[in-house]
Amino acid sequence: MNPTRKIRVLIVDDSAVVRKLATEALSSDPGIEVVGTAIDPYVARDRILELSPDVLTLDLEMPRMDGLTFLRLIMESRPLPVVVMSSLSQRGSDYTLEALRLGAVDFLGKPSGSYSFGDLGAQLIAKVKAAAAARVRPSRPVPPAALRPARPATPPPRPNLHPRSVVLLGASTGGTEALREVLINLPATLPGIAIVQHIPATFSKAFADRLNTLCALEVREAIDGDRLAPGLALVAPGGFHMMLQWAADHYRVRITGGPPIWHQRPAVDLLFKSAADCGAAPHAIAGIFTGMGKDGAEGLLRLREKGATTFAQDEASSVVYGMPKAAWECGAAQIQLSLERVAPYLISRCEAAQHSSPAHVPAIP
């Protein structure tokens, strides 16, 4: 896209208030032009053909045709970057996750009962700009259960892992689907996995719960003090930072407040740096997935310098090649991987570590 040309945005929402607020917020940025609005998908269809927008903002609950059905039609006939604007309810969270699976680039929770966007305006501007530069991905169907690693009826035997073995993953824009594609292909015998995905508080539990229904691993939103064990993946709760601590013979997570880092809470950097500082690095595999900005690069570099195995998602498979690029260019990532290669890579590296290190090696002080 020509960097000197304004990003052309079409706003699709049945609420006149939301259309007005979104138009005002986006129009305040000199690099964005709101070329039109639409009250439902039927009007939006005609506006897309007439106006050729670069980015669409899309409400999911509208009359005549719901947003998910319209999004599916867009991605089949005329794919373009879509930022979903969703309610903060449980149903809104579920709809949003399905929209991301269908190909939406990003999402923003709509304020309820408010006539002001507040800081959501700045977030909407940032998400629209990221979407304009994003690679639109067609939806990928969830593999049939028969093709996914099965969750055992009883917990599998504890693998022969070093007690400090851990997998650390960070992601932002496009990350919910990237993480889903990786985690559904991992067995329940891997070390504990700690995940930071940039996501609002209302959506993080729905994201973890959805993954839990698809994966052989147990996946859940982290609670302060949770023990990180093999076969378990903990997702940082939206709106809070997550850090790793070593407690005698196992890891526990700390969930804390504090200021945003790189404008994010949770922040990938805080998880990675805490892991490096508590002695995890020599037995850690850490990676950064698609997303805008630089969050995670500094922490990944610290992990690599202390002996961790590190990687970043490659440009071709990233929706937004920002965070992985920052990690690669500063030397934090040892290798770049396409998304489809990440799960096999994690499995092979964990198996190699398992065969090279006895399970009862004394813990690093």
46 SS3 class? helix
Stretch 360-365: mean pLDDT, rounded?
Answer: 36
Are 7-132 and 155-356 equal in CATH topology?
yes
Lowest mean pLDDT among 82-91, 191-200, 204-213: 82-91
pLDDT for position 137 = 77
Per-residue pLDDT reduced to its tens digit, 268-325: 999 999 999 999 999 999 999 999 999 999 999 999 999 999 999 999 999 999 999 9
Q: Where are the domains of the chain?
A: 7-132, 155-356
CA dist., res. 183 & res. 174, Å (int): 15
Among residues 101, 36, 43, 117, the alpha carbon closest in space to that of 68 is found at: 101
pLDDT for position 351 = 85
Split at pLDDT 50, 70, 90, the class of 364 is: very low
pLDDT averaged over every residue in the chain: 89
pLDDT for position 151 = 59
Split at pLDDT 50, 70, 90, the class of 87 is: confident
Split at pLDDT 50, 70, 90, the class of 362 is: very low
- Asked whether the predicted pLDDT for residue 365 surpasses 50, the reply is no
The domain at 7-132 falls in which architecture?
3-Layer(aba) Sandwich (3.40)
The domain at 155-356 falls in which architecture?
3-Layer(aba) Sandwich (3.40)
- Rounded to the nearest angstrom, the gap between the alpha carbon of residue 168 and the centroid of all alpha carbons in its chain is 13
Per-residue pLDDT reduced to its tens digit, 332-350: 999 999 999 999 999 999 8
Helix (H) or strand (E) holding 243: strand 241-247
Residue 95 phi, psi dihedral angles, 5° rounding: -60, -40
Q: Which residue has the tokens 């570590």?
A: 353
Lowest mean pLDDT among 19-33, 155-169, 304-318: 155-169
Question: Could you list the active site residues?
Answer: 172, 198, 295
pLDDT for position 154 = 58
